[in-house]
Structure 1
Amino acid sequence: MTLGQRLSQGDETALEECYAVLGPLVRRHVVRLVPGHAVDDVVQLVFLEVWRSRRRFDTARGLEPWVLAIARNRAIDQLRAEARHSRRAVPLDDAARVPDTTPAVDTACDVRKALAGLPTPQRQAIMLAHYGQLTQREIADRLAVPLGTVKARTARGLHRMRDLL
């Protein structure tokens, strides 16, 4: 039985193992997204949500991308909370100089859609490389596939994403 299957069935030792195995990966991911003072809190929230959401985990999909998606969402929540607490009025003269973030949001949505259009092995390799900041060797070890397979999946996935975008 896989770690993801054990976790989804409520095995508490699976949560401990998940934290031991994926904790460093989640931390590396979160460090890129939130200020240093919030990293520990966000990592803790991630694994709390992993446990609370365990029944929603699709065991046919990868555990790492699911946990990293939760990590990204909790990091975004943290940034939003900090922004709410530090909001201040912007003078109208300065408002004209505030950059428009809409193109960046549109691009992010397009990339998300393109990723969703990839076959699972290609999407998984790209997500672990990008969101998990893993090398191709680390991805191969995690997925228990040859290094050449990871390289091929990544290359094919990126080519397909380019076509989709």
Structure 2
Amino acid sequence: MSLIEQDGVTACYLTHAPLVRSYLRRFVPPQDIEDVLQVVFAEVWRCRHRYDPGRSLEAWLQGIARNRAIDYLRARPPATVSLDLVPEPRDHHDPVGHLGVRDQVRRALAVLPAPQREAIELAYYYELSQREIAVCLDVPLGTVKARTARALHRLSALVAA
């Protein structure tokens, strides 16, 4: 490794780390951004011979950052929370009727297959988009859409019964 190469990667880090850090904030939890950032620039160093100076350095760095963020997300176990731990909203107008519907929904959710229940919980309790659910569960977006649609259809039938 020549001193010129080392200085080039150091300059790249000093110049572009804020851009990459900002990009990673969209995918990686705040407490892990610096770790993923270091992995990104370690790969920049290892793969520096692959960079084409005729193309955008920022785009190349963001491509590497995207791939490392995906690797990070895939390595994490999916976050699940029991419905018993989710606080219930308060309805002061009709507390008895609301409790009955809530219990019906809870029983209906318990009947759903685990993948469908998980998609519904992530969408409605964690307010994740379908794309975010796909990344979280490491499944294709179409699979998330199908699971959600089937679950909602089944829930409406179960709650109406």
With normalisation by structure 1, the TM-score equals 0.49
Q: Aligned to 1:55, which of 46, 49, 58?
A: 49
Residue 97 of structure 1 and its aligned partner are, at CA, apart by: 3.9
Q: Aligned to 2:32, which of 20, 38, 61?
A: 38
* Residue equivalent to 2:113: 93
* Residue equivalent to 1:140: none
User: Measured at CA, do residues 104 and 38 of structure 1 come closer, stay the same or move farther in structure 2, by a change above 3 Å?
Assistant: farther
Paired AA for residue 46 in structure 1: V
User: Measured at CA, do residues 91 and 20 of structure 1 come closer, stay the same or move farther in structure 2, by a change above 3 Å?
Assistant: farther
Gaps of 5+ in 2: 81-109, 120-129, 135-139, 144-161
Residue 92 of structure 1 and its aligned partner are, at CA, apart by: 5.7
Residue 55 of structure 1 and its aligned partner are, at CA, apart by: 0.7
**Cα distance in 1, alignment partners of residues 60 and 49 from structure 2:** 12
**Number of corresponding residues:** 95
Query: Does the alignment pair 1:20 with 2:14?
Result: yes
Residue 95 of structure 1 and its aligned partner are, at CA, apart by: 2.5
* Residue equivalent to 1:64: 58
Q: Give the alignment's Cα RMSD to 1 decimal.
A: 3.1
Correspondence 1:51-130 to 2 at 5 A: 51-83=45-77, 93-99=113-119, 101=134, 102-103=140-141
Residue 96 of structure 1 and its aligned partner are, at CA, apart by: 3.0
Residue 93 of structure 1 and its aligned partner are, at CA, apart by: 2.6
Secondary structure of residue in 2 paired with 1:83: coil
Paired AA for residue 62 in structure 1: S
Residue 65 of structure 1 and its aligned partner are, at CA, apart by: 0.3
Which structure exhibits the higher relative contact order, with contacts defined as CA atoms closer than 8 Å and separated by 6 or more residues? 1
**Cα distance in 1, alignment partners of residues 26 and 116 from structure 2:** 29
Residue 22 of structure 1 and its aligned partner are, at CA, apart by: 0.3
Residue 38 of structure 1 and its aligned partner are, at CA, apart by: 1.1
Q: Deviations over 1:102-157 (max 9, x none)?
A: 4469xxxxxxxxxxxxxxxxxxxxxxxxxxxxxxxxxxxxxxxxxxxxxxxxxxxx
Q: Deviations over 1:47-95 (max 9, x none)?
A: 00000001111111111100010001101110111137x68xx986333
Gaps of 5+ in 1: 1-9, 106-165
Q: Runs (4+) of structure 1 moved beyond 2 Å?
A: 90-105
Give identity over the alignment, percent.
41
